[in-house]
Amino acid sequence: MSMKSISFLASLSLLALTFQFAIAADPSQVQDFCVATNSPVNGVSVNGKFCKDPALATADDFYLSGLNVRKSTNNQIGSNVTFGGVDNVPGLNTLGISFARADIGVNGQVQPHYHPRASEIVGITEGTVLVGFVASDQRLITKTLNVGDVFVFPQGLIHFAANVGQVPAVLFATLNSQNPGTIFVAENVFGSNPPITPALLAKAFQLNVTTIMELQAKF
Ligand SMILES: *[C@@H]1O[C@H](CO)[C@@H](O)[C@H](O)[C@H]1NC(C)=O
Ligand SMILES: *[C@@H]1O[C@H](CO)[C@@H](O)[C@H](O)[C@H]1NC(C)=O
């Protein structure tokens, strides 16, 4: 090999190395999936939303009101979550943050769920709330929170919040994604559309098919 081609190879590998450092990873997702399409005619959005001309932005793009309002928790699970994300606060697009208020009635809960794209910080402004998350080694990390207490749910881990006090509880949350996604464990496993084969779930959950079909009927 000539001296010239060796130095060419060297600079090529240097270039590859630099490129690798410059782009260390793919950009993180801001939606569940973004299937490739060859023509923009069939496209709806990129990873996130299209951007409005900045000159046309108004205060209302960055605004949501009503998080002072108590929501009805008169439902099966006993909670009601009001979420502020890119879908109802368009100014959040590309900012990587969102927020929520959860009303949790006495004996109510925000049932086990996880956010595929965000960690979450919660703070209690009313009531007493038992929170917890399960680590990937199945360890349960749990704590009873009172007004003024703050707790963190790491990204992607199953977590819950249950009112264990005598009065309705209010929890505020912030999440580090404009579109964190919310996967409710029971609903997504037993309420998928179409349903997952009962025999498959019976084996996975070590229950019989009848019980699985009862669960599927509930969700
Ligand atoms: C949440 O609260 C609103 C307003 O109180 C109510 O209209 C809605 O049905 C509630 N959602 C659930 C799931 O209970
Ligand atoms: C399925 O399991 C439930 C709960 O253990 C039990 O009550 C029921 O008899 C079982 N049904 C069948 C068909 O084995």
Separation between Cα atoms, residue 6 and residue 192, nearest integer Å? 58
> Is a pLDDT exceeding 90 seen at residue 41?
no
Global confidence as pTM: 0.84
Radius of gyration of the chain (CA): 23
Cα 25 to averaged position of ligand 1 atoms, centre (Å)? 41
Ligand 2 atom nearest the C-alpha of 208 is: 1
Strands 79-84 and 169-175: unpaired
pLDDT at 95: 92
> Is a pLDDT exceeding 90 seen at residue 32?
no
> Is a pLDDT exceeding 90 seen at residue 43?
no
Residue identified by tokens 């949350």 is: 173
| Assigned CATH class of 1-179 | mainly beta
In the chain, domain spans: 1-179, 182-219
Separation between Cα atoms, residue 46 and residue 189, nearest integer Å? 28
Query: Ligand 1, residues 68, 69, 71: which to mutate, most atoms within 8 A of Cβ?
Result: 71
Phi and psi of 59, rounded to 5°? -55, -35
pLDDT at 19: 47
pLDDT digits (tens, 9 = 90+) for 110-167: 999 999 999 999 999 999 999 999 999 999 999 999 999 999 999 999 999 999 999 9
Query: Ligand 1, residues 77, 80, 101: which to mutate, most atoms within 8 A of Cβ?
Result: 80
| Ligand minimally distant from the alpha carbon of residue 80 | 1
pLDDT at 75: 97
pLDDT at 51: 87
| Mean pLDDT for the chain overall | 89
On whether the CB atoms of residues 159 and 132 are closer than 8 A, the answer is yes
Question: Which one is predicted more confidently, 55 or 158?
Answer: 158
List the binding residues for oxalate.
Answer: 115, 120
DSSP codes, 144-192: EE-TT-EEEE-TT--EEEEE-SSS-EEEEEEESSSS---EEHHHHHHS-
